[in-house]
Amino acid sequence: METNQIFETIRMIEEDNLDIRTITMGISLLDCIDADVDKACEKIYQKITRCAKDLVSVGDQIATEYGIPIINKRISVTPIAAVASAAKATSEECIKYAQVLDQAAKTVGVNFIGGYSALVEKGFQGSDLALIESIPEALATTDFVCSSVNIGSTKAGINMDAVKNMGTVIKETAEKSDLGCAKLVVFANAVEDNPFMAGAFHGFGEADTIINVGISGPGVMKRALEKVKGETFDVVAETVKKTAFKITRMGQLVGQEASKRLDIPFGIVDLSLAPTPAVGDSVAQILEEMGLGSVGTHGTIAALALLNDAVKKGGVMACNHVGGLSGAFIPVSEDAGMIEAVENGFLNLEKLEAMTAICSVGLDMIAIAGDTPAESISAMIADEAAIGVVNHKTTAVRIIPAKNKKVGDHVEFGGLLGSAPVMETNEASSADFIQRGGRIPAPLHSFKN
């Protein structure tokens, strides 16, 4: 083995914050369905604590043995709205499911449990509406439960009734708890094997239990690009590809090892550059390294497009199965470079929307003024969903109306969630638009241009 390769790996981990963002165990709860809510909850608790009892210890073992930090161990479960349907659960009863998920998460010691979810892109069935209505209370009364609602897809169009509901739900969630909105994602084209919270759930097409891995590594990418300063974009793309390959190999190794030790099949590696609020672990700074004065300025979209694509190209060869959201995440509050760009006035909501047309997820971890009307939030969701639905990609909104705060104020979330400046939104009303409800039809794609 080459000495310099060994030192390269060690440097990546110790100096450039290379880590595995998450090992997520997907657990199907379809076999826990029961017409009696309490019985269902008991079965859910039993199944999660049985399947995931060793998840945290195995994760920690792998982290020490390989010397690579594994930041989160998480669980994703079957969308609870489906489980709750059998009991025709009311919104009060839905809370019980949230609470049992929270208890199970605490028992096994994971960081988050995702799947308090409903998939309503085409319409509501069973307990979908009850679950959606219960989200504010569910997120306020639990610590680790994450929730998501899929309101649109390229095949089905956009469920504007759900979009309308979610505006109100987000407002209520913000009223009830400070961190609730950080645990709530509204999706279009949600994927079933996403290991990243808050949007993770265990899809119906998945195996009974599965291990998915999400990688991180923006610091390593930035360091690699520092070495090719001034070179052409051919060189930049090549550098990103090669670095993504190396990062992803690590994800593949960790995933395989976890799958072997837990005796659970290995699902996918999510090839994602996911930032943390730590200095030197920022996706925004990678873009700036390409030559932008600040993320958000002219050229940002082109830089992000290159980055996103090259990460996938490099990563695909490095692992067996790629999935999830794969790409570059640009949450505002979790990325030191993004926060700075907003504070300096170089990055606004409109540019973020444009960026989401080509990257993973969408308007992510963005704080807005607490008095923003619910309809405006719904309209932001509709805009993001339209980008996803028309462009065959996943988009999401995780937006945080900050109680009693105005544009320019600052909100602290703490930990991996970071902090965010309150951003300016458009003040013109979207109320009549959102009040219409109904469904925006699926786009026509046979005359694509």
- Radius of gyration over alpha carbons of the chain, in Å? 21
Q: What does DSSP assign to residue 415?
A: G
Residue with tokens 């039993």: 46
CA 418 to chain centre: 15
Cα–Cα distance measured from residue 371 to residue 375, given in angstroms and rounded to the nearest whole number? 11
Which conformational region is residue 291 in: left (phi greater than 0), alpha (psi within -120 to 50 degrees), or beta? Answer: left
Residue 252 binds another protein, judged by CB under 8 A: yes
With beta carbons less than 8 A apart as the criterion, state whether 66 and 118 touch. no
Q: Which is nearer to another protein, 134 or 243 (CB)?
A: 243
Q: Does 321 bind another protein (CB under 8 A)?
A: no
Segment interacting with another protein, rule: CB under 8 A, options 59-67, 107-115, 412-420, 433-441: 59-67
Does 68 participate in binding another protein (rule CB under 8 A)?
yes
Collect all residues with Cβ–Cβ distance below 8 Å to 1 and sequence separation of at least 6.
none
x/- track of binding to another protein for residues 11-50 (CB under 8 A): ---x------------------------------------
Looking at residue 142, what DSSP letter applies? -
- With contact defined as beta carbons under 8 Å apart, do 13 and 67 qualify? yes
Least distance (Å) from another protein to the CB of residue 5? 5
Is 325 a binding residue for another protein by CB under 8 A? The answer is: no
Query: Using the 8-state DSSP alphabet, how is residue 360 labeled?
Result: S
**Strand locations in 100-201 (E):** 112-119, 145-153, 157-159, 184-188
Residue from 46, 64, 107, 426 in contact with another protein (CB under 8 A): 64
Q: Does residue 89 sit in helix, strand or coil? A: coil
Does residue 146 touch another protein according to CB under 8 A? Answer: no
Nearest approach, Cβ of 47 to another protein (angstroms)?
30
| Smallest separation (angstroms) from another protein to the CB of 156 | 40
The answer to whether residue 3 forms part of the interface with another protein (CB under 8 A) is yes
Structure-token pair, residue 402: 């900050």
Among 67, 414, 437, 441, binds another protein (CB under 8 A): 67
Smallest distance, Å, CB 299 to another protein?
32
Instruction: State the minimum distance, in angstroms, from the CB of residue 4 to another protein.
Output: 10
Taking the C-alpha atoms of residue 329 and residue 291, their distance in angstroms, rounded to an integer, is 19
Length of the chain, in residues: 449
| Between 249 and 313, CB nearer to another protein | 249
In which residue are the tokens 């003024």 written?
369
Stretch that binds another protein, among 2-10, 135-143, 166-174, 389-397 (CB under 8 A): 2-10
H/E stretch holding 365 reads: strand 363-369
CA distance 209 to 349: 38
Stretch that binds another protein, among 4-12, 72-80, 94-102, 381-389 (CB under 8 A): 4-12
Question: Cβ(93)–Cβ(87) under 8 Å?
Answer: yes
Percentage helix, strand, coil, to 5, in the chain? Answer: 45, 20, 35
Question: Nearer to another protein by C-beta: 15 or 231?
Answer: 15
DSSP E strand boundaries for 163-238 = 184-188, 209-215
Run of H or E including 448: none
Binding of another protein at residue 104 (CB under 8 A)?
no
The CB-of-110 to another protein minimum distance in angstroms stands at 20
In this chain, which of 66, 179, 313, 443 binds another protein, going by CB under 8 A?
66
Q: What's the DSSP call for residue 370? A: T
Minimum CB separation of residue 58 from another protein in Å reads: 13
Q: Which of 96, 246, 312, 405 binds another protein (CB under 8 A)?
A: 246
Query: How many whole angstroms separate alpha carbon 252 and alpha carbon 249?
Result: 5
Q: Which is nearer to another protein, 9 or 49 (CB)?
A: 9
Number of chain positions touching another protein (CB under 8 A): 21
Q: Which of residues 253-272 bind another protein (CB under 8 A)?
A: 253
Nearer to another protein, 6 or 431 (CB): 6
Which of 42, 54, 57, 61: binder of another protein (CB under 8 A)? 61
Does 432 engage in binding with another protein (CB under 8 A)?
no
Shortest distance (Å) from residue 264 CB to another protein: 20
Residue from 200, 250, 310, 311 touching another protein (CB under 8 A): that is: 250
Assess 249 for contact with another protein (CB under 8 A): yes
Does 5 bind another protein (CB under 8 A)? Our answer is yes
CB closer to another protein, 65 vs 432: 65
- What string of DSSP letters covers 28-84? --GGG--SSHHHHHHHHHHHHHHHTTTHHHHHHHHHHHHT--EEEEEEEES-HHHHH
10 near another protein (CB under 8 A):
yes
Q: Which residues bind another protein (CB under 8 A)?
A: 1-3, 5-10, 14, 61, 64-68, 246, 249-250, 252-253
